[in-house]
Amino acid sequence: MANIWLVFLIFPVLSILAADLSTTRQMLGFVILAVFALVHAFGYRVLVLRELGLSSAPTTVGWRRFVDPDRSEVWFGLLVATLFLGWLVAGWPLMGAIPFLLTFAIFNFSWRTASIVFALCLAVVIFGPLAIGQLDEWWFLIAILIGAGCPTAIARFAEERQHDVNALNAQLMVTEERERVARDVHDVLGHSLTAVVLKTQVTDRMLAAIENPPPEVIAARQQLAETQDVSRQALSEIRATVSGLRSAALGDELAAARSVLSDAEVDLIVHGDPTGVPHRHHSALGWTVREAVTNIVRHAGASRCAIELGGDQGLLTVQDDGVGAAGSREGNGLTGLRERLAADGLALRVEHDSGTTLIVTPADSAAAEMPAAEVPA
């Protein structure tokens, strides 16, 4: 859809026609605008493929990052280079394409990067004409830049809010289904296994009342005892499965952590508020808090724990002053937590320095922080 706005390149075309340029420079200007349009179209194609999950992850290794066609930064650099070449050939008439740089940055980069691009573009359309004494002639470029940037920013903001709403609705549907399955498993199988345990106990008591029981009765009582053990074990596993099916609400897990750590005589300090964290990640972060608190109580021997939500390091940071576990093999709990976080688009980093620190970040941020040799090509 964004490429529909390429029709507005008609204004640079008209500016070139109206400018006092030679025929050769005019033709070169038109060719450069055509190349600019093609680069713009292919750049947005990368964005669309990425949103559809059809694009491979862009590389961050070595010089290949500067030529990787799956990186929007590469296409943006080509747009800037093409526009600069057009300025050398046709001058300011080609600067009517500058708003396309801004809209591309808004849709493809972070808000911070887009703001920097906006500031740079605004500086170009103000101080460029001002330096050659033609600001009164090219002032409309300022109006076009602001007029294109503001609606584009609003559109992106609305798109992000809609994405959050869709993700929240999907998460609610999954949570409701998991809760339904958990209730069915607990009510049906739990009830049946409890009945089996009770029936075997009653039968065992009846057999125990027999005086001078024959060997067959003794053997039957042994089988009943084993049946009770198996049924109780199955009932325990079902309860654990039901607990795993139920979602972990971040707010509830923080309250539970305060209670559990207080009983274990561990001081807890919480910085931040769950409302400051994207709601779609609440369940995954709730599981992280639960796993971290469990490890602190069982293994850390800590006296203090700090939980930070939405801080500088990541979405969630849990730090204790315990013994740490540097060099030891990671347990099943953390391994399972990594898998759960990965399914939610998050990554877990564990640090051991005067205790243990668990840091949850978006998966792409974690990959960007890895050393170049560790990032997959």
Q: Two tokens at 98?
A: 């500058």
CA–CA dist 111, 116 (Å, integer): 9
Quick one: pLDDT band at residue 123, thresholds 50, 70, 90? Answer: very high
Is residue 141 within 8 Å of residue 153, measured between CB atoms?
no
Q: Quick one: residue 270, left, alpha or beta (phi over 0 = left, psi -120 to 50 = alpha)?
A: beta
Q: What is the mean pLDDT of the chain?
A: 82
Q: Averaging pLDDT over each range in 63-72, 145-154, 164-173, which range is the top one?
A: 145-154
pLDDT score for 260: 85
Q: Which of 58-72, 104-118, 188-202 holds the top average pLDDT?
A: 104-118
Question: What's the pLDDT at 370?
Answer: 46
How many other CB atoms are there within 10 angstroms of residue 2's CB atom?
18
Mean pLDDT, rounded, for 18-40:
91
pLDDT at 116: 95
Tell the burial category of 20 from Cβ atoms under 10 Å away from its Cβ (0-12, 13-18, 19+): exposed
Strand 316-320, strand 304-309: pairing: antiparallel
**Average pLDDT value for residue range 257-267:** 85
Q: Report the percentage of the chain scoring pLDDT > 90.
A: 17
Cα gap 281→353, rounded to integer Å: 27
Tell me how far apart the alpha carbons of residues 289 and 270 are, in angstroms, rounded to a whole number. Answer: 11
Residue 371 has pLDDT above 50, yes or no: no
Question: So where are the chain's domains?
Answer: 2-138, 167-245, 250-374
pLDDT tens sequence across 70-88: 788 889 999 999 999 999 9
DSSP assignments along 8-29, one per residue: GGHHHHHHHHHS---HHHHHHH
User: Can you give the pLDDT at residue 341?
Assistant: 87
* 75-84, 188-197, 244-253, 293-302, range with greatest mean pLDDT: 75-84
DSSP label of 185: I
SS (H, E, C) 191-216: HHHHHHHHHHHHHHHHHHCCCCCCHH
Residue 57, pLDDT above cutoff 80: no
Say whether 53 sits in a helix, a strand or coil.
Answer: coil
Q: Residue 182: CB partners within 8 Å, gap ≥ 6?
A: 242, 245, 246
The confidence score (pLDDT) of residue 233 equals: 81
Query: How many other C-beta atoms lie within 10 A of the C-beta of residue 86?
Result: 24
Cβ contacts of 242 within 8 Å, gap of 6 or more: 182, 185, 186, 190
**Beta strands at 346-352 and 316-320: parallel, antiparallel or unpaired:** unpaired
Measured CA to CA in angstroms, residue 50 lies from 33, 44, 57, 58, 302 at distances of 26, 10, 8, 10, 44
3-state secondary structure of 58: coil
Cα separation, 351 vs 353, in Å, equals 6
- Classify 250-374 by CATH class: alpha beta
Q: Which of 26-30, 134-138, 206-210, 278-282 has the lowest mean pLDDT?
A: 278-282
Q: Are 268 and 261 in contact (CB under 8 A)?
A: yes
In what order do the strands lie in the sheet containing 316-320? Answer: 267-271, 304-309, 316-320, 356-362, 346-352
More confident residue, 57 or 360: 360
- Interval 52-62 mean pLDDT: 70
pLDDT at 83: 92
The model's pLDDT over 207-255, given as tens digits with 9 standing for 90+, comes to: 888 888 888 888 888 888 888 888 888 877 776 666 665 556 788 888 8
Whether the predicted pLDDT of 368 surpasses 50: no
- pLDDT value of residue 374: 40
pLDDT the model gives residue 68: 74
Residue 31 pLDDT: 93
With vertex at residue 79, the alpha carbon angle to CA 132 and CA 69, rounded to the nearest 5 degrees, is 160
Whether residue 55 has pLDDT greater than 50 = yes
DSSP code of 371?
A: -
Burial class from Cβ neighbours inside 10 Å (0-12, 13-18, 19+) for residue 100 reads buried
* pLDDT value of position 375: 35
**Average pLDDT over every residue of 257-269:** 86
Rounded CA-CA distance 251/273 in Å is 9
Q: Which amino acid is at 101?
A: L
Average pLDDT of span 130-153:
88
* Average pLDDT of the residues in 46-72: 74
Q: Answer yes or no: is pLDDT of 122 > 90.
A: yes
pLDDT over 50 (residue 41)? yes
Q: Which two tokens stand for residue 52?
A: 């559809």
In tens, the pLDDT along 154-167 reads 998 998 888 878 87
Query: For residue 39, what pLDDT is reported?
Result: 92
Q: What is the pLDDT of residue 187?
A: 65
Tokens at 315, concatenated = 């979405």
Any residues with CB less than 8 A from the CB of 150 and at least 6 apart, and which? none
Give the residue-averaged pLDDT of 84-97.
Answer: 88
